[in-house]
A and B are shown apart, each in its own frame.
Chain A
């Protein structure tokens, strides 16, 4: 080991038990990503965070969720003097991604639950035509393969 003393454990043998995201101690985040030492460096992390954020606008809100998950250590810790200069920029991307994902998830869940629970007495006979299993039967989608 290099003698970094902000590693929570110096025991290489327990590396298997070491959760990479637990590499945060004394307020400083050592690794930007949840993969820890196997993940990206700080510069690459900023590029990745930005890319995930902007690609998420292409109807891919799951990328925003991936962004939050991947940079979880950045999301949950606060900026401290010893953290990397990229930290704040990554953090802003990740925070905005999480806001976007939460809004999307709320909207989608609301719509899906309305559809599922409302059922016929909310939508009328149209519900039967719209629901996926009838639609799949009508369009013979399950016979394609």
Chain B
């Protein structure tokens, strides 16, 4: 992925190999993804715990889990129990319309970025993250408060919510903020949005996941893809795309004479694509209410110096990049969200599927990082992981569960 030269370092004798810091690099991107997934699974299983038993039993007979939300209950009320085919149809329509809206908004983003309306974009994204943190955050905390009967008064609640959301917006958009808070708030936004997505009906969620991974694949790799255009624009101008992107702390901060602010880098690096920030209005066919979703998707990008044929000894020239030779892995927030949606939806069935999907997603992420190291350009992070996750979910649900249940009930295992 990147070379770290320590020629000027008196302590280490020769050059360091990539293996010295590769593990740390990967861990620093895998941990927040895992944390996000864990929080979503906890949220899903705690808030819907009263319905867990009935939903798992009914899911053995029906093809959809009954979730204690307004969407699916309204669904079932309207259509009755033989709604499987109807659900599939509505799911496909919803997913398709979502992808269309996301494509249009991404093209709009490319256009705005082309006309250098960066300030407008930043303000818009600030407002959308404020929305996510305050409304969605408030809604989910109200769910938790109601579920666990926490005796909090509205005054304290309002103060805490206001503080946490405003500081969250600052943390995500101001460059001069503690890195740990920035990362923490990005994970929080991912958790909130992912939880909101898991409240969609089951077929819709799966259709949406598959549609978004196909869209990601197309948008990043095709030459007319909006994300690819965005990345090329950003690269040609040496600017950073205004988007919600999680950036792992570089393993090797080389303090130089000039202290570089972590985010403001004049890049000679190859910056891979950053995806769009969208606010999409999801209209499900059966539901009459409009669900506003704040959706921020971005593929996996890596920023690292253009080493290429550069000799390791000329490290000092790279000082202008700011973080020395250490590149940092960047993962778009949309990837966090969709991974967590998959795992959250798996959690609504059983914990077995959670473990299987978690492992599948991590494997997919590893494969994507590997491809990133090989190809060194923008890569979509969704397709491999989501496809593996869906396959593992189906296999677990259909094959593994039967096996494990029979083994346990005959006291053969566990």
B254 and A12 contact, CB distance less than 8 A: yes
Q: In the docked arrangement, what's the CA distance between A141 and B139, Å?
A: 7
Nearest B residue to A63 by beta-carbon distance?
A: B167
| Distance of B61 from chain A, by nearest CB (Å) | 29
Q: In the docked arrangement, what's the CA distance between A40 and B262, Å?
A: 8
Q: In the docked arrangement, what's the CA distance between A116 and B151, Å?
A: 5
A38 and B153 contact, CB distance less than 8 A: no
A70 and B12 contact, CB distance less than 8 A: no
Contact status of A2 and B251, CB under 8 A, knowing A59-B159, A133-B146: no
- Chain A residues lying within 8 Å of B163, measured Cβ to Cβ, are 59-62
Q: Which of B173-181, B201-209, B301-309, B364-372 contacts A (4 or more CB under 8 A)?
A: B173-181
- Chain B residues lying within 8 Å of A66, measured Cβ to Cβ, are 167, 171, 177-178, 181
B135 and A145 contact, CB distance less than 8 A: yes
A2 and B167 contact, CB distance less than 8 A: no
Q: In the docked arrangement, what's the CA distance between A7 and B179, Å?
A: 21
Bits for B161-173, please: 1 = Cβ < 8 Å to A, else 0.
0111011001100
Number of A-B contacts (CB under 8 A): 152
| Distance of A127 from chain B, by nearest CB (Å) | 8
A115 and B153 contact, CB distance less than 8 A: yes
Q: In the docked arrangement, what's the CA distance between A66 and B180, Å?
A: 11
Q: Which of B3-11, B32-40, B270-278 contacts A (4 or more CB under 8 A)?
A: B3-11
| Distance of B22 from chain A, by nearest CB (Å) | 11
- Determine which residue in A16, A69, A119, A130 has the highest number of CB atoms from chain B within 10 A of its CB, and name it: A16
| Partner pick for A12 among B12, B162, B171, CB 8 A cutoff | B12
Q: In the docked arrangement, what's the CA distance between A10 and B164, Å?
A: 38
Interface membership of A142, Cβ < 8 A: yes
Q: In the docked arrangement, what's the CA distance between A141 and B16, Å?
A: 56
| Partner pick for A108 among B70, B145, B156, B250, CB 8 A cutoff | B156
Q: In the docked arrangement, what's the CA distance between A144 and B12, Å?
A: 60
Bits for A110-124, please: 1 = Cβ < 8 Å to B, else 0.
011001100100000
| Distance of B36 from chain A, by nearest CB (Å) | 20
A132 and B11 contact, CB distance less than 8 A: no
How many of chain A's residues touch chain B, expressed as a range? 35 or more
Q: In the docked arrangement, what's the CA distance between A16 and B252, Å?
A: 6
Interface membership of B142, Cβ < 8 A: yes
- For window 1-46 of A, CB contacts with B under 8 Å fall at 1-2, 4, 7, 10-13, 15-16, 20, 30-31, 33-41, 44
Nearest B residue to A123 by beta-carbon distance?
A: B153
- Chain A residues lying within 8 Å of B150, measured Cβ to Cβ, are 132-133
Interface membership of A48, Cβ < 8 A: yes
A69 and B259 contact, CB distance less than 8 A: no
B11 and A10 contact, CB distance less than 8 A: yes
Interface membership of A103, Cβ < 8 A: no
- Chain A residues lying within 8 Å of B252, measured Cβ to Cβ, are 12-13, 15-16
Interface membership of B255, Cβ < 8 A: yes
How many of chain B's residues touch chain A, expressed as a range? 35 or more
| Distance of A71 from chain B, by nearest CB (Å) | 10
Nearest B residue to A71 by beta-carbon distance?
A: B178
A108 and B21 contact, CB distance less than 8 A: no
Interface membership of B196, Cβ < 8 A: yes
- For window 221-270 of B, CB contacts with A under 8 Å fall at 249-257, 259-262
| Distance of B160 from chain A, by nearest CB (Å) | 8
- Chain A residues lying within 8 Å of B199, measured Cβ to Cβ, are 145
| Partner pick for A62 among B139, B156, B167, CB 8 A cutoff | B167
Interface membership of A143, Cβ < 8 A: yes
Nearest B residue to A7 by beta-carbon distance?
A: B255
A136 and B162 contact, CB distance less than 8 A: no
A44 and B176 contact, CB distance less than 8 A: yes
Nearest B residue to A10 by beta-carbon distance?
A: B11
B143 and A131 contact, CB distance less than 8 A: no
- Chain B residues lying within 8 Å of A133, measured Cβ to Cβ, are 142, 145-146, 149-150
Q: In the docked arrangement, what's the CA distance between A115 and B159, Å?
A: 15
| Distance of B156 from chain A, by nearest CB (Å) | 5
B251 and A15 contact, CB distance less than 8 A: yes
- A12-B6, A35-B179 known; 10 new pairs, CB 8 Å cut-off, are A12-B9, A12-B16, A38-B260, A60-B167, A69-B178, A112-B153, A133-B145, A133-B146, A136-B142, A142-B142
18 CB < 8 A contacts A-B: A1-B10, A2-B256, A12-B12, A12-B254, A15-B254, A33-B178, A34-B178, A36-B253, A37-B260, A60-B167, A132-B145, A132-B151, A132-B154, A135-B154, A141-B142, A143-B70, A144-B139, A145-B139
Q: Which residue numbers of A lie inside 8 Å of B, CB to CB? A: 1-2, 4, 7, 10-13, 15-16, 20, 30-31, 33-41, 44, 48, 59-63, 66, 69-70, 108, 111-112, 115-116, 119, 130-133, 135-137, 141-145
